Amino acid sequence: MPPRGKLHIGSNIGIDKEQAFRDRIEELQRNQVRDIPLVLIDEIENVRSSYDQDGIKQLAASIESNGLLQPVLLSENGTRYGIQAGHRRVLAFRLLQRETIPSIIRPVAEYLAEIQLIENVQRENLSPADLEVAVNGLVARHGSQEKVAQLLMKSKQWVSNVLAASRVRENLSDTLEKHGVKDSLPSGNLRDIAALPAPEQAQAAKEALETGGGKRAFRKAAQKARANRGSHDSHAKSIPLFSLMFTALRQPDGKLSFNTEVTGQPGGETKARFEVFCDDIKSRLLSKTETGS
């Protein structure tokens, strides 16, 4: 088990999450902190699709008692500002009816997605669907899973697993929505069936969701699908192959000789029908020989 409060990066190296977060945005804190009027701050697209109102109230109470521990990050947009990081803090300040909020101003939003996702991954729990959408966007922007893994302080395997789960969630959107878990089903559950062909994914997900929908249920469903496929493959390989041959030769003295050859193991019915066929051919050939035709 990793130590409490530690973040593991693909190995046994533990990094203090708060320190890692501070290090990641340290370069953005070079600008002087300014008090920006809340009326000039516009919200822009964020990786989080919804906020816990009780959590906002708790954050507001903490700010009221202890002050704001971390300024928000804003980008300039003419005479107004967009939020790069700190949406919850802005909502809490508005709840407190404050006029301004301590802010660090960035002239452009080039680090928007990175800052938002780092903050949410390290300090809050994104919904699985939100996380998958964000990671997909970062990979598209940076062009490699390795770069995104470094950015988020995660392993490349973690990024790969999130992307695999995202593809399954999209493929099984209707099934997951029917069971009410379209956005909330953990990525790890979907990752367990990601290696299956699409039809088997659908069947495995259906079975897993009908038996509780937990990680163990998805793992068992995936194992069952692979076992069934192996059984079918084994059955296909065990189908017996055989050949049947009948030859008729006319000897120098004019008589006919017959030969039958059976290789492999044909079924009893097949073998019996072949024998009837051979007897019929023999009688026809002998009859023609006797009549001289």
Neighbours of 173 (CB within 10 A): 11
Q: Find the Cα–Cα–Cα–Cα dihedral 203, 205, 207, 209, rounded to 10°.
A: -150
Read off the pLDDT of residues 79-88 as tens digits, 9 standing for 90 and up: 888 888 888 8
Read off the pLDDT of residues 19-57 as tens digits, 9 standing for 90 and up: 666 665 665 455 568 899 999 998 766 556 566 788 889
Q: In the prediction, which pLDDT does 285 show?
A: 79
Beta bridge partners of 249: 257
Provide the mean pLDDT of the chain. 78
C-alpha–C-alpha distance, residues 117 and 129, integer Å: 13
With a cut of 80, say whether residue 136 has pLDDT above it: yes
Q: In the prediction, which pLDDT does 249 show?
A: 80
The confidence band for 1, taking pLDDT boundaries of 50, 70 and 90, is: very low
User: 49-58, 106-115, 121-130, 198-207: which has the minimum mean pLDDT?
Assistant: 106-115
- Joined together, the tokens standing for residue 38 give 């809340």
